[in-house]
Structure 1
Amino acid sequence: MREDSPNPTSSTVSIGDAARALNLSEKSLRRLADRGDIPSTRTAGGHRRFTLPAVRAALGTIAHTGLTHRGEADWTGDVDLVDLDEAIVWSRIATALSLDPKSEGTRIMNYAFTEMLNNAIDHSGGGQAMVRVWSAPDQLAFEIQDDGVGAYLRLRDGLGLVSVLDAAAELTKGKRTTWPERHTGEGIFFTSKAVTEFRLSANGIRLTIDNQRDDYALGASAVTEGTRVEAALDLPPTTTLREVFQEFTDDDLRFSRSRPRIELFGTGLSFVSRSEARRVLADMTDFDDIDIDFTGVDDVGQGFVDELFRVWPSQNTGVQLHPLNMNDAVAFMVRRGIGVRGKGSLPPDAESG
């Protein structure tokens, strides 16, 4: 139902006219206005009115510490998720923005965008998503915001995890999905590796993966309803999509290598318990090689090391663990823990720094 004012003015438009002009749904406009993200006024009868230049400016500069700070998006639209074909949406965007289908940047963003929109279609439980895309000579970027239950809550409940924070950490493993019949759980993992910077915000938390700085960050987010996915790719890209897949697949192109970040699996910088170690490697038996990244970890306990590098490998023969980026204290405990028991092994490529 349109909320038209009985006395429209030349400077403001109704919500229906604004929705058509901006290629957004009335529902999205109401949500943005209710949150204060875009300006609006009301008539004496209570109908919303919008000033299009002001709304366009606000849409380009919504303050959510996003990855995309390029002003107004070059393509904006609402999509109905039911029976949606993500490839058709990308084709429409690529045509509108004259993206070169043969360029590596377009190939990477085609993969990333369609994977993330497909996640919203199949997993969000929502009905709509708002899409924004930025295209510049030095960067391609997109944002997809759906109105579903939130990615971390969905994963927490689907995998039987304790908290949404646990769900965020699980996503960094790969092969984690609540619908194994339809999904491999690889989409978010490979997308987050292929772009320059990736961010997934939902259920009050935000996971950011910055590949330029080789950094992960987990923090609070203002996104409490639905899921917001943001991805930015600097141009020209420093890697190809094929190289990204090759890093984590074997000769048969099977997703065989993972790289969990230890610091995401706890609330501090010290990891001492066996239960923490079990969480890190939960459901990782499908991989042949697992890089255990200790970046940001100050120290580890004997029980944690023993569980991680002796007990788990003894129960899962054939899976190689490779500790990376250890400080001296962590490296000492890892080497000591393995050496004392004599049954574990520290691969020759183990790194400390």
Structure 2
Amino acid sequence: RHAVLELAKGKFTTDPANHTGEGIFFSSRACDDYAIFSGGVYFSHEFGKKEDWILETDGLRGTTVIMKLNNHTSRKLKKVFDEYATVDGFGFNKTVVPVKLAQYGDDLLVSRSQAKRVLNRVDRFKTVIFDFTGVDSVGQAFADEIFRVFAIRHPDIEILDIRANKEVSNMISRAKVAAKSLDVGQVNLS
């Protein structure tokens, strides 16, 4: 599950000298349907759907990747790339983090350590959008770590949230208000 969360963010590679880690991210968004079955985990991205999704399955060995694309699609790769580039148009600088993928079973997203897993590698982007689809609630420490602590440490990164329900939005707002009320020049977050 953790590996799938990292793949969903993009820029994840085990061999940075030879590739950027952008292939799976952009391939999954260019296709109509994209799925990876590996080690009992099933990850899927469908064009036009709000969210990626993940299931745990039994009995699968090895890895299978399925990619489907309509032969007569009007979708252009440039448009797919541009959706994740910042205004200058250069580079893969924007990502959407499906926060739901950080939840394991019935676990709630409450701790700073869970937030740090979600934040892993997002400092490589200029815009990070946290998608809270399917997340019923988050704890104060989880929201605080992302929307106050990380935001203060990385003022050059635009941090946004989407599809949060009222309860999650309230926790996020609380963390953002706390961040604004601090005199950042007097805060040492090291």
Considering Cα pairs closer than 8 Å and 6+ residues apart, tell me whether 1 or 2 has the greater RCO. 2
String of CA shifts for 1:218-272, please: whole Å, max 9, x gaps.
Answer: 11344312x2100112353252111000001132421100111000012147311
Structure 1: 5+ residue runs without aligned partners? 1-164, 345-353
For the pair shown, which has the larger CA radius of gyration, 1 or 2?
1
* Structure-to-structure mapping, 1:1-353, within 5 angstroms: 165-221=1-57, 222-225=59-62, 227-250=63-86, 251-267=88-104, 268=106, 270-343=108-181
Give the Cα separation in 2 of the matches to 1:244 and 1:277. 28
> What TM-score results when the alignment is normalised by the length of structure 1?
0.48
Tell me the CA shift for residue 274 of structure 1: 0.8
Say how many residue pairs are matched.
179
Give the Cα separation in 2 of the matches to 1:343 and 1:187. 41
Amino acid at match of 1:186: E
Aligned-CA RMSD value = 1.7
Give the Cα separation in 1 of the matches to 2:138 and 2:74. 34
Cα separation, partners in 2 of 1:264 and 1:315, compared to 1, 3 Å: same
Answer whether contact 1:195 1:231 (CA < 8 A) is retained.
Answer: yes
String of CA shifts for 1:157-202, please: whole Å, max 9, x gaps.
Answer: xxxxxxxx21111100100100000010000000111111110111
Give the Cα separation in 2 of the matches to 1:342 and 1:289. 19
Amino acid at match of 2:60: V
Structure 2: 5+ residue runs without aligned partners? 183-190
Amino acid at match of 2:39: N
